[in-house]
Amino acid sequence: MYRLISELYPICRSITGDGLRQTLRRLREQIRLELSEVPTGTQVFDWTVPKEWNIRDAYVKNARGERVLKDAEYEVCIDSTLEDGHLTYGEYFLPGEIRGEVLISCHTCHPSLCNDNLSGIALAASLARVLAVAPHRYSYRFLFVPGTIGAITWLARNEDKIPHIKHGLVLTGVGDAGELHYKKSRRGNAEIDRAVAHVLQHSGQPHKILEFSPYGYDERQYCSPGINLPVGRLSRTPHGTFPEYHTSADNLEFVHPEKLADALTACLTIFSLLENNQTYMNLNPKCEPQLGKRGLYRMVGGSADAGLSEMAMLWVLNQSDGRNSLLDIAERSGLSFDSIQKAARALEEHELLRKDFKSVPQAAR
């Protein structure tokens, strides 16, 4: 991720133009990105795709025509164009077992800033590569879009896809030294909101959960009242609250490989939770089943299965009445989702539990 950031850092990006294209082409070397070109003037909801802005050249020349900066008198030239063209964005769709999707969105427009948002781009690209080779129930959709106008353009052109989005994350500013911050979706208690909170709480690391507000990055569009998707935002130090924000000090020294790696781990843990957060039915709901005769009960001086928690099994059995998902059970018990999920799997293998398909929303299949 850090190497990718280093390569993309010198490119002159904006919300349109060749810098943006160059950035997306570089990403296409890693993931099978599909590029869209939307012509200037296209109406996207209340907005219009703007003209393309390109820099041909820019320099400061002294009186002798030399490009320097030492003399008292000099000529400044910025040779740019603002003409009809296109807005470019990249999209990568990874189909899963069900039509329900997880949306990962990052903005690709900021120039010469490493944390905001080359870190988000690099994290999204790595997630795409990892998930492409891992089994997954959900479909995953990655959007690499210029901020605001790009997200609006995608939503305006893909209204039919919106109902399939079950969870989503906007990724931005994930490489600085600060702790992870999750900003809740407009809904405030969506499954993604609870999943991220659970993962961060059980990470053993300092973190913060922020309430939704309509200011910020592209969650503004995904959480507008007519879209209202369960999309939150994962960042480290929030925008605008650190001195390097939107200055040349947001450079390669401001982002840290280990912080990027830690954010990757957090995202994969979150997606794993969503993948496995199902609702089960206890097949032996009247009184406890006998765990001992099935080898599921701790033995004197030993334990049933390595890492299998008896408390987790008891919680899963007690709460699996078709109304509680594994995340519900993890939250009520205070145990980690991981231990709850392991318990559910062991109980399912011993035919004490079965998935309750009725509780899976129709639209998510």
3-state secondary structure string across the chain? CHHHHHHHCCCCCCCCCHHHHHHHHHHHCCCCCEEEEEECCCEECCEECCCEEEEEEEEEEECCCCCCCCCCCEEEEEEEEEECCEEEEEEEEECCCCCCEEEEEEECCCCCCHHHHHHHHHHHHHHHHHHHCCCCCCEEEEEEECCCHHHHHHHHHCHHHHHHEEEEEEECCCCCCCCEEEECCCCCCCHHHHHHHHHHHCCCCCEEEECCCCCCCCHHHHCCCCCCCCEEEEECCCCCCCCCCCCCCCCCCCCCHHHHHHHHHHHHHHHHHHHHCCEEEECCCCCCCCCHHHCCCCCCCCCCCCCCCHHHHHHHHHHCEEEEEHHHHHHHHCCCHHHHHHHHHHHHHCCCEEECHHHCCHHHC
Give min distance, CB of 110 to a second copy, in A.
18
Q: Which is nearer to a second copy, 46 or 160 (CB)?
A: 46
Give min distance, CB of 331 to a second copy, in A.
12
Q: Which is nearer to a second copy, 22 or 318 (CB)?
A: 318
Q: Which is nearer to a second copy, 154 or 242 (CB)?
A: 154
Give min distance, CB of 259 to a second copy, in A.
29
Q: Which is nearer to a second copy, 120 or 289 (CB)?
A: 289
Give min distance, CB of 210 to a second copy, in A.
13
Give min distance, CB of 303 to a second copy, in A.
16
- Which positions lie near a second copy, rule CB under 8 A? 44-47, 148, 151-152, 155-156, 159, 186, 213-215, 220-221, 223-228, 282, 284-290, 311, 314-315, 317-321, 333
Q: Which is nearer to a second copy, 89 or 138 (CB)?
A: 89
